[in-house]
Structure 1
Amino acid sequence: MMLKVVLACLLVSVTCAKDIRIELTGNYYFSTDIKSWYDARIFCSNNNLELASVQDEAEASLIQSLAPAQGIYWTSGTDLNNPNGNFFWSSGAAIEHSNPMWAAGEPNDYLTAGTEVCVSINTNTGKIQDSLFWEQYKYICESV
């Protein structure tokens, strides 16, 4: 079985678990299926990839332009195991609450019980938001 993402960019092949061959667009794999944040993270990890860390607005714009379908995609951002709703990418970089990549009013769940503990990106807008980890979204993996 072969999963493909075809875009006008350099394609790089990665050999993956269970004889699946994933073709990356640049450093990214854009899923066509949906998973929870945890399942998306496991899928990426099992295929020698990570959920994407969107470091800045330029990278958010690149992802927005490369995404084969518009919508909401999981990223690596989370505030799991971090007090006071401090979000971090899997790279370890902090996602400050004042970061201009956040959609208006986001993050919006860190002051309460905090069930929106994972970060997704809306490829319609290029903005990130905190989301419920059990929601089913497409996801973006990247090579590390």
Structure 2
Amino acid sequence: MRLLAAVLFAALLSCAVAKPIKPECEALLAQNLTLANLDTGIYFYDDFSGWMSFDATFEYCSNRGLEMVTANSLLEIQNLWNMTKGTIWTSGQWVYDSAKPPGDFRWVGGAVIPLNSELWAPGEPDTYLEGRHCCVQCNSGRLHDAKCSDWYAPVCEIPTTCYK
């Protein structure tokens, strides 16, 4: 019965999705998570799992066949803020390469998040200057850097490979 409900739920959601996804990814929509279908992507937010570290959020999303959020625009960050009204992890983190100091903030996929990007809140990033391994969180509609061991809400997104 639960499987039938999940299949029906996925069928209903797939009709409502503004960004069409590939048929092989439709099962991802049937997860017992809050679904947000925004014009910038399809996101999953779990109000009940509690907050977690960056690494735990990465594992949480991966175990569900999803990805941590990669915010590619100010609109996407603001959509996520409006959806959650709380601090969430993104897939960004400080990557230090001793061969090419000082390092970069990068999304999990490898794209650089420039230090002067409009995506950052005023005065951010600043934690990486303290020599800590840090990751990127979203708060108040902008990016902030924070210790990876801090705890924030997990938000996942449909992998970009799932969109048609």
| Equivalent residue in structure 2 for 1:65, among 65, 68, 82 | 82
**1:95 is matched with which residue?**
113
Seen in structure 2, the aligned counterparts of structure 1 residues 15 and 29 have a Cα distance that, compared at 3 Å, is: closer
| Equivalent residue in structure 2 for 1:22, among 33, 54, 70 | 33
Normalised by the length of structure 2, the TM-score is 0.69
Structure 1 or 2: larger strand share?
Answer: 1
Q: Which runs of 5+ in 2 are unaligned?
A: 3-15, 18-25, 160-164
**2:102 is matched with which residue?**
84
Counterpart amino acid of residue 117 in structure 2: N
Q: Percent identity?
A: 28
Where do residues 39-58 of structure 1 align in structure 2 (5 Å cutoff)? Answer: 39-58=56-75
Normalised by the length of structure 1, the TM-score is 0.77
State which structure, 1 or 2, has the greater radius of gyration over its C-alpha atoms: 2
**2:13 is matched with which residue?**
none
Report the aligned-residue RMSD.
2.3
State how far apart, in whole Å, the 2-side matches of 1:13 and 1:103 are: 36
**2:20 is matched with which residue?**
none
Matched residue pairs, number? 128
Seen in structure 2, the aligned counterparts of structure 1 residues 66 and 13 have a Cα distance that, compared at 3 Å, is: farther
Post-superposition CA distance 1:26-57 (Å, at most 9, x none)? 21012322100000000000100111000011
Structure 1 or 2: larger helix share?
Answer: 2
